[in-house]
Amino acid sequence: MNMNEIIKITDLTKSFGNIIACSSITLEVYPGEIVGIVGESGSGKTTLLKCASGLYKPDSGEVFFRSDDNYVQNICNISEPDLRQLMRTDWSFIHQNPRDGLRMNISAGGNIGEKLMAIGNRHYGNIREAAAAWLEKVEIDSSRIDELPSNFSGGMQQRLQIARCLITEPKLIYMDEPTGGLDVSVQAKILDLIKKLVEELNIAAVIVTHDLGVVRLLADRVLVMKDGHIVEQGITDQVLDDPHHAYTQLLVSSIIQV
Amino acid sequence: MIELKDISKSFRLYTQNSAKITVFKDVNLTVNRGELVAFTGKSGSGKTTLMKMIYGNYLPSKGSILVDKTDITKINLQDLIRIRNHKMGYISQFLRVIPRVSTMNIVSDSLIKLGSEKEDALAQASELLNFLDIPRKLWNLSPLTFSGGEQQRINIARAMICNYPYFLLDEPTASLDNKNIEKVITLIDKLKKNGCAIIGIFHDEMIRNEIADREIDVNSFK
Ligand SMILES: Nc1ncnc2c1ncn2[C@@H]1O[C@H](COP(=O)(O)OP(=O)(O)O)[C@@H](O)[C@H]1O
Ligand SMILES: Nc1ncnc2c1ncn2[C@@H]1O[C@H](COP(=O)(O)OP(=O)(O)O)[C@@H](O)[C@H]1O
Ligand SMILES: [Mg+2]
Ligand SMILES: [Mg+2]
């Protein structure tokens, strides 16, 4: 199978009991782009990201992922070891709650370094140096490299998780409300970091956020979700400036200004 | 060449009793390479709406918009993004940037994104910032704290550093003094000589007289 997209989701549905969290979702993401997903709480954004990244198995539908060598796999029906391998090397998932994405019982440096080790790095000195550099990139003083994450504030834990997820330069980054708990100045820095990484490495990112200001500055395209459906999508300025769906208009008109 | 064929546009406002605002009916318009067409008409008459449709920002309710014969209202998003990135510069009155990113990076990034070498992009950005009288001591700062006029010039620089064949200018000079307006006019003249097609909205009649090849009152499209 030939595809230009890095990920292609077709007709994906996922229910929990009688709640349909995602209903017939179709979505393609191309290398070099950042796709934003917005929508009210409970609209299925997290479920979609988790299905797209192999953390949940959808009830029906396909998720095709293309690796570097143009090898396309349907991650809904590959073996568990193959899926684990892709999760290690090809994409990463930044969770809304940093505790879901960190190992709380190992040091900050260990949290970052173990990701490098998982993709084959063995030189202790290099790994430590890279981990320290990434701490600085997310504005955590590298002198705190040996501290446990539980010593850190929520915002710092989130930045640590971001460093852990980005250090391996994955080809696809899933982010679930990654900047929610960050103060605005740090948030700006993280947005710039993500944008640069996507541009320089020609990778892709999918970001769930309720912050339309973040979407405006970061996302090339946006999807609007409501009740498990994508109700509107387009280039970011199309969706924010000329929304056609009643729900999107409500969303856009409810904020002060973006 | 940019061609608008039978363009109509209305907005349906669902949050306001589904009111329908019709701004245009059956607009037909052609803009050729090397000319500057100025949209005129009082505030609220639809100048910005028309320009945003040409950028693919607002979707027309009806009709087609051809950019070099490609109908941008019918293509997929990826192709529209590609056309924007390689062909169309859009400059509005307002500067939107990620906080804390330096002026120099903002301006040079436009070129780097199109594949220029970093050093080359930095050199061209310096030249343009110099020309637009942005003091060198500001280059490493974020423009978000700059004056309105400085922000407008950064906005102009980050777009005009690219040699797009099409430019859309929505009051790009609104808060500039005369000396800087002259500089922007010089840049626009240079674009025109290079065969660029430009659509502009300028409040100032003097500016229009100086650079517009044609004026179109958008009220004629009602
Ligand atoms: N693990 C789960 N078990 C049961 N219900 C779930 C689970 N995850 C999500 N849901 C339900 O699915 C719907 C979508 O949730 P979610 O994807 O978390 O939405 P969002 O991220 O947009 O807030 C909600 O009604 C939620 O209660
Ligand atoms: N995104 C929008 N949603 C709803 N109405 C809009 C939108 N943009 C413009 N309009 C309406 O279209 C009309 C023309 O506005 P605009 O194009 O901004 O005029 P101008 O640029 O000539 O001042 C106005 O009545 C305005 O309220
Ligand atoms: Mg969620
Ligand atoms: Mg206007």
> Ligand 4 center to residue B217 CA distance, Å?
13
Q: Of B108 and B174, which is predicted with more confidence?
A: B108
CA distance A167 to A119: 11
- Looking at residue B135, its pLDDT comes to 97
Q: Is the dihedral of CA A73, A79, A83, A86 positive or negative?
A: negative
* Residue length of chain B: 222
Q: Which long-range contacts (CB under 8 A, 24 or more apart) does A18-27 make?
A: A20/A227, A20/A228, A21/A47, A21/A228, A22/A47, A22/A48, A22/A51, A22/A58, A22/A228, A23/A227, A23/A228, A23/A229, A24/A61, A24/A229, A25/A61, A25/A228, A25/A229, A25/A230, A26/A230, A27/A52, A27/A223, A27/A230
Whether B49 and B9 have beta carbons less than 8 Å apart is answered as yes
- CB of A236 sitting under 6 A from ligand 1: no
Q: Do B100 and A199 touch (CB under 8 A)?
A: no
Partners of residue B99 in chain A, C-beta under 8 Å: 184-185, 188
Whether B41 and B47 have beta carbons less than 8 Å apart is answered as yes
Q: Across the interface, which of B57, B101, B112 has its CB nearest the CB of A237? A: B57
Q: Looking at the CA of A40, which ligand is closest?
A: 1
Residue B207, φ and ψ in degrees, nearest 5 = -65, -45
β-pairing verdict for A172-176 and A60-66: unpaired
Mutate to test the pocket of ligand 1, among A12, A46, A94 (most ligand atoms within 8 A of CB): A46
Sites in chain A below the pLDDT cut of 70: 256-258
Q: How far is B179 from chain A (nearest CA, A)?
A: 31
Cβ neighbors of A150 (< 8 A, separation 6 or more) are: A104
Q: Looking at the CA of A42, which ligand is closest?
A: 1
Checking if the pLDDT of B216 tops 70, the result is yes
Q: Looking at the CA of A178, which ligand is closest?
A: 3
Residues 185-204 of A with CB under 8 A from B: 185, 188-189, 191-192, 195, 199
Which candidate in A235, A236, A245, A251 is best for mutational testing of the B interface (most B CBs within 10 A)? A235
Residue A140, φ and ψ in degrees, nearest 5 = -115, 130
Q: Do A30 and B78 touch (CB under 8 A)?
A: yes
Closest to A89 (Cα-Cα) out of A67, A122, A105: A67
Q: Do B57 and A30 touch (CB under 8 A)?
A: no
Q: Tokens representing B57?
A: 């920002």
CA distance A232 to A206: 16
- Looking at residue A256, its pLDDT comes to 64
N-to-C CA span, chain B: 24
For A110-140, the pLDDT digits (tens) are: 999 999 999 999 999 999 999 999 999 999 9
pTM: 0.95
N-to-C CA span, chain A: 41
Cα separations (Å) of A218 from A113, A142, A189, B36? 28, 27, 12, 32
- Looking at residue B64, its pLDDT comes to 98
Give the DSSP H or E segment for A112. helix A108-118
For A183-213, the pLDDT digits (tens) are: 888 899 899 999 999 999 999 999 999 899 9
Atom of ligand 1 at shortest range from CA of A48 = 17
Checking if the pLDDT of B53 tops 90, the result is yes
- Looking at residue A257, its pLDDT comes to 60
Cβ neighbors of B51 (< 8 A, separation 6 or more) are: B39, B90, B168, B170, B199, B201
Q: What is the mean pLDDT of residues B143-149?
A: 96
Side-chain-facing half-sphere of A113: CA atoms under 13 Å = 18
For B54-98, the pLDDT digits (tens) are: 999 999 999 999 999 999 999 999 999 999 999 999 999 889 999
> Ligand 2 center to residue B78 CA distance, Å?
26
- Looking at residue A24, its pLDDT comes to 98
